[in-house]
Amino acid sequence: MHLAGGRLRDFARGCDVLGGGGGGQARYALPLAVHAVELNGPVQVVPATELPANGLVMPCTFLGAPAIGAERIGTCREAATIRGHVERHFGQPVVAMLCNEIGGFHGAASVALAAHAGLPMLDADGMGRAFPGMSRVAMHLAGVTPDPVVLADEHDRVVAVHAGDGWAERMARSVVVGFGDRGVSSEYVMTVDQVADAVITGSVSKALRIGELIGAAASVPDAARAIVAEFDGVLIAEGRVTAALPEPGRHTPATIEGTGADEGRTLRLEVGHEYLAVIEDGQVLATVPDIITVFDTYTGEALGAEELRYGQRVVAFALPCPDVWRTPAGLDLVGPAAFGLDLPYRPVVAS
């Protein structure tokens, strides 16, 4: 399988769905991916079984303030610079890139980073969705060390951080501030034989498939129905946003009032960096780490948490998160309490 042409758009749409409102918008990374593929050719997507067991898999992602990144988009050649440093450090070739965060911006951007680094993408990612925080990845739960965190800017400046789990992100963010609040980062480098238990397998093909379902659907509600049917999710409601005060990073509840068949229902959406929970009449319908997605009924775009506005017509649905997040250790890291919610975790179960 490879990513190029129209598949890039499908893939980006799927990334936005898997973002669960978080991770920024894949549609803004799409031009980077299209341009990178034009320059470097299609990006192959491969399963771990097709790679040499002792080759290195290199996660890679943009880091920095989103507002800076919107203007200072980088060249994505940072990934090639990082690849060189990683190979020198480990004395082994990198054989594939791993998308850290399939959800939202970083999912689509990873195609651009892989293309410029001259690497295939592993059909996997670190989260199966989007989360804030460097350590909210399957690699961390599997005990992989983030060291060295290798960071680069678009002028080939490279910084390598050896700080251990607790300080890796703190130090990486300090470094990126020095870069001018935008850089590319790689951490949790593994060998291929480590990835089986340390990544979310199949994320890239899943995002692509979701994008294809959206493209094939006759309407936005139909697209939502097709996605939940194929990926064991649940449709929550169609409705209209009647209250929303999005402030990125703060809990700012929004209200969705049902329309059509859902007339009379009132849903409360807890919103942080992503959609954290949906509550109706005191009942939890879905919470993190499951993936809550809100489609704009008119545009078909999966709305980012900071994009919710009064009056939007929407379709809300939820998809189950990867199994690793439903373990006790997973819920400690990314369950409702990890995001400040005093709510129980009620796994999304397809009806």
User: Which residues contribute to the site for a second copy (CB under 8 A)?
Assistant: 85, 155, 157-164, 167, 170-171, 173-175, 177-179
Strand pairing report for 254-258 and 234-243: antiparallel
Q: Whole-number minimum distance, CB 173 to a second copy, in Å?
A: 7
State the pairing for strand pair 291-296/283-287: unpaired
SS3 7: helix
Q: For a second copy, which is the closer residue by CB, 147 or 222?
A: 147
Nearer to a second copy, 16 or 169 (CB): 169
Instruction: Report the nearest approach of a second copy to the CB of residue 85 (Å).
Output: 8
**Which of 6, 164 has the CB closer to a second copy?**
164
Q: Which is nearer to a second copy, 179 or 339 (CB)?
A: 179
- Peptide bond connecting 289 to the previous residue in cis, omega within 30 degrees of 0: yes
* Burial readout 59-93 (b: 16 or more C-beta within 10 A, e: otherwise): bbbbbbebeebeebbbbbbbbbbbbbbbeeeeeee
Measured distance CA(204)–CA(201) in Å, rounded: 8
Residue 63, helix vs strand vs coil: strand
Task: Provide the minimum distance between the beta carbon of 188 and a second copy in the complex, in angstroms, as a whole number.
Answer: 17
Q: Residue 17 burial (CB < 10 Å; 0-12/13-18/19+)?
A: buried
Partners of residue 214 on adjacent β-strands? none
Q: Which is nearer to a second copy, 44 or 135 (CB)?
A: 135
* Least distance between a second copy and beta carbon 189 (Å): 15
| Smallest distance from a second copy to CB 326, Å | 33
Residue closer to a second copy (CB basis): 75 or 110? 75
Rank residues 189 and 276 by Cβ distance to a second copy and give the closer one.
189
Q: To the nearest whole angstrom, how small is the minimum distance from the Cβ of residue 153 to a second copy?
A: 9
Write down the least CB distance from residue 334 to a second copy, Å: 25
Closest CA to 24 of 60, 64, 59: 64
Helices 105-117 and 6-18: angle between axes, nearest 10 degrees: 140
Instruction: Determine the Cα–Cα distance for residues 347 and 341; give it in Å rounded to an integer.
Output: 15
